[in-house]
Copies of this chain bind each other. A is one copy, B any other.
Amino acid sequence: MSLFLIIDILGTIAFSISGVLTALKKRMDPFGILIIAFVTAVGGGTLRDVLIDADITWMRNLTFVYVIFITFIVAVIFRKKLGYVRKSLFLFDTIGIALYTIVGVEKGIAAGFPPIICVALGTMTACFGGVIRDILCNEIPIIFRKEIYATACILGGTAYFLLMKTTLTEDWVVVISGSLVILVRLLAVIFKLSLPNIYKDQIVIDKE
């Protein structure tokens, strides 16, 4: 089993558990929890594949279906203990978005899209599973309010493109741009960085 696949599976597990946790907070039943775990893990990639008119990976290759299903079962059984693995989850999740970003960018390049669209596809792959999760849970998507993920993905995806124009091998480009995603996200969480707050002065834009 390649390192790439192991990282992908760890990311999928982290994303699925994030879905289970959100669904539990909304007191969903087991079917609802399973669906939320599923869309959190594969929703971003599915949206990407629909937009670029590609085959949807998880519908042909069942590896991720099984990984999500087993994660769902284990996470529901041990739901009271999930707090203990929070730090590991955060790590897997961060590595997962780095990988998902690169997968999305590469799929966009392979289909011949312009660089800016490829970066958008990478960001979508990493972030929009969470957006669909939040919509199905009747919440404004968290990354639209307290942005943690998306900037890291945009920077990493952009780095991927710039580095591909150098003499670096593709392996190095993947490692460096993926590490950039991880680094930006870790620094953002450690130093509580966020995008500039444009509401400081509490202007009421529209009273209607």
Show the binding face of A for B, using Cβ within 8 Å. Answer: 21, 23-33, 35-36, 46, 50-53, 55-56, 59-60, 62, 65, 76, 79-80, 82-83, 113-114, 116-117, 131, 135-141, 143-147, 150-151, 194-199, 203, 205-206
Contact = CB atoms under 8 A, between A and B. Distances in A.
Given A147-B29, A147-B31, A198 B141 contact: no
A59 B51 CA distance: 9
A32 to B, nearest CB: 3
B140 A83 contact: no
A82 B204 CA distance: 12
The complex is assembled from copies of this chain, and their number is: 3
Contacts of A199: 27
30 contacts: A21-B205, A21-B206, A24-B206, A25-B205, A26-B140, A26-B144, A26-B145, A28-B144, A28-B145, A29-B144, A29-B147, A29-B194, A29-B198, A30-B195, A31-B147, A32-B145, A35-B144, A59-B113, A60-B113, A60-B114, A62-B114, A62-B116, A76-B198, A79-B198, A79-B205, A131-B136, A136-B140, A136-B144, A137-B140, A138-B139
A36 B140 contact: no
